[in-house]
Amino acid sequence: MRRAAWIAAIALAIGVAAGAPVRAELVRVETVGSVPLGAASKGGATARQAALEAGVRDAVERAATDLASQAGSPAGPDAIRAALGNDLLIYAAQFRILEDRGERAPLLEQSPGAEREYVVTVEAHVDRARVRSRLAAAGLLGAPVEPGARRALRIAFEGVDSYPLWERIERALGARGGAVRPLEFSRTRILAEVETEEESGTVVGRLGTALGEAVEVRSAGMEGETLLVAIAPRVAPEAAPPAGAPSDPAVPASEPAPTPSAR
């Protein structure tokens, strides 16, 4: 019963998060997406979806390159891609196929083994604010983020096994007024994005204080651009036995030595 309630709460939370207003700065980018197809490649819907995602990634990279150029940054394509991370779809609020050109002889794809390519024209609305925040955090915009300015910090919480615990985490993270946006729920892991002006270590320390002594909160390093935070109930130490008591109840206490009798 508890498991069903937990799953229902997760579904509700995802629905609320998806419908919540998010401060964004959207820019429309139109581009072409293509993927190579070999002899064993699957075409049809699979290739169409892959080409769409390739177009979205190109749109995000274009928006990022424009931002870097406007800031006078010398950052090249490789540095920009490294700063944005592997999942570029998170920077696109909306995207769709404008024209499905389908399979054709390779013109855009020149990789070895490409016998055909699947091509689509894509319209993507890229969130420049999120892209700018990520580039600034990586130091690619020519100047560091001003002290006290909020940034988007992505955190993966490991060990969150109940929705009430997540609600406590969410309240603690939002106590300073920054938005908290859950992005992904799984059995014991929650991925969220937090707007904060604090350093990562300060966020973790403040969360540990807010959750109290019964919960252990510790940083578990980084996974790309994501801060990993481990959450676990704190195990109370076993009570020490009273002074003079045997340490192992299975072992009887030794009997006192007999007192020699007077002769």
Q: What's the length of the chain? A: 263
Same domain for 188 and 107? Answer: no
pLDDT digits (tens, 9 = 90+) for 91-101: 999 999 999 99
- Looking at the 3D structure of the chain, how many domains does it have? 2
Q: H helices within the chain, ranges in order?
A: 2-19, 44-70, 77-84, 128-137, 163-173, 200-211
pLDDT at 157 (0 to 100):
93
Q: H helices within 189-243, ranges in order?
A: 200-211
Same domain for 43 and 132? Answer: yes
CA distance 185 to 152: 19
| Percent of the chain residues topping a pLDDT of 70 | 75
- CATH assignment at residue 130: 3.30.110
The answer to whether residue 188 is domain-embedded is yes
- pLDDT band (50, 70, 90) for residue 161: confident
The answer to whether residue 241 is domain-embedded is no
pLDDT digits (tens, 9 = 90+) for 6-47: 544 444 444 444 444 445 688 899 999 999 998 667 678 899
Residue 197 pLDDT greater than 50, yes or no: yes
Same domain for 192 and 96? Answer: no
Same domain for 117 and 192? Answer: no
Amino acid found at 48: R
pTM across the whole model: 0.48
Q: Which residue has the tokens 């390093």?
A: 221
- CATH assignment at residue 225: 3.30.70
Contact 194, 153 (CB under 8 A): yes
Same domain for 127 and 194? Answer: no
The answer to whether residue 112 is domain-embedded is yes
The answer to whether residue 198 is domain-embedded is yes
If we measure between CA atoms, which residue out of 87, 244, 72 comes closest to residue 154? Answer: 87
Which of 37-46, 90-99, 132-141, 228-237 is the most confident on average? 90-99
Same domain for 172 and 92? Answer: no
Q: Last residue of some domain: 137, 172, 203? A: 137
Q: Which domain holds residue 205?
A: 151-233
- pLDDT band (50, 70, 90) for residue 243: low
Same domain for 40 and 125? Answer: yes
Same domain for 99 and 128? Answer: yes
pLDDT at 57 (0 to 100):
95
